[in-house]
Amino acid sequence: MGSLEYGVPRVALVGEPYEIGWQHGQQLAPQIVDQLRIYRELFQEACKFDWDTVRSVAGEFRESIGRLAPHLLEEMQGIADGVQAQTDPSVDILDIVALNARSEIALGQWDDGCTSLAWRIRAPECHKQILAQNWDWREGVGKNLAIASIAAPKKPKVWMVIEPGIVGKIGFNSASVGVCLNAIRARPISTSLLPIHLLLRIALECESVDSAIASIESLGGAASSQHILIADKDGARGLELSPRGAFYLKEDENGILAHTNHFLENKLVDEPPWLSGSPIRLERAKAICGELIRELGPDRLGEIDAKLLRARVFSDTFNSPQAICCSPDPNRVARIQTLFNIVMTFEPGKSPTAEVVFGKPGSDNESSVYFGELEPEVGSLVQAKEV
Is the pLDDT at 387 greater than 50, yes or no? no
> Among candidates 63, 66, 42, which has minimal Cα distance to 54?
42
User: What is the pLDDT, as a whole number, of residue 368?
Assistant: 87
Is the pLDDT at 241 greater than 80, yes or no? yes
User: What is the pLDDT, as a whole number, of residue 378?
Assistant: 36
> Among candidates 13, 8, 371, which has minimal Cα distance to 157?
13
User: What is the pLDDT, as a whole number, of residue 103?
Assistant: 93
pLDDT above 90: percentage of residues in the chain: 84
Identify any residues that bridge with 372 across adjacent strands, giving them in sequence order: 354, 381
* Single pTM value for the model: 0.94
- Phi/psi at 237 (nearest 5 deg)? -140, 150
Longest dimension (CA), the chain: 60
User: What is the pLDDT, as a whole number, of residue 5?
Assistant: 56
Q: Output the 3-class SS for 375-386.
A: CCCCEEEEECCC
Q: Tell me the HSE value of 172 on the side-chain side, using a 13 A CA sphere.
A: 34
Identify any residues that bridge with 236 across adjacent strands, giving them in sequence order: 231
Is the pLDDT at 381 greater than 60, yes or no? no
What whole-number distance in Å separates Cα of residue 7 and Cα of residue 9? 6
Instruction: Please write the tens of the pLDDT for every residue from 53-65.
Output: 999 999 999 999 9
Domains of the chain plus CATH, in order, are: 12-105 (1.10.439), 113-383 (3.60.60.10)
Indicate the angle between helix axes 209-218 and 196-203, nearest 10 degrees: 140
Is the pLDDT at 123 greater than 60, yes or no? yes
User: What is the pLDDT, as a whole number, of residue 376?
Assistant: 36
> Which positions ≥6 away from 136 have C-beta within 8 Å?
112, 113, 114, 115, 326, 336, 337, 338, 339
Angle, CA 152 vertex, CA 26 and CA 136 arms, to 5°? 65
- Phi/psi at 327 (nearest 5 deg)? -120, 160
Tell me the DSSP string of 272-304: ----THHHHHHHHHHHHHHHHHHHH-GGGGGG-
User: What is the pLDDT, as a whole number, of residue 279?
Assistant: 96
Average pLDDT over residues 132-156: 96
CB 199 within 8 A of CB 164: no
Is the pLDDT at 380 greater than 80, yes or no? no
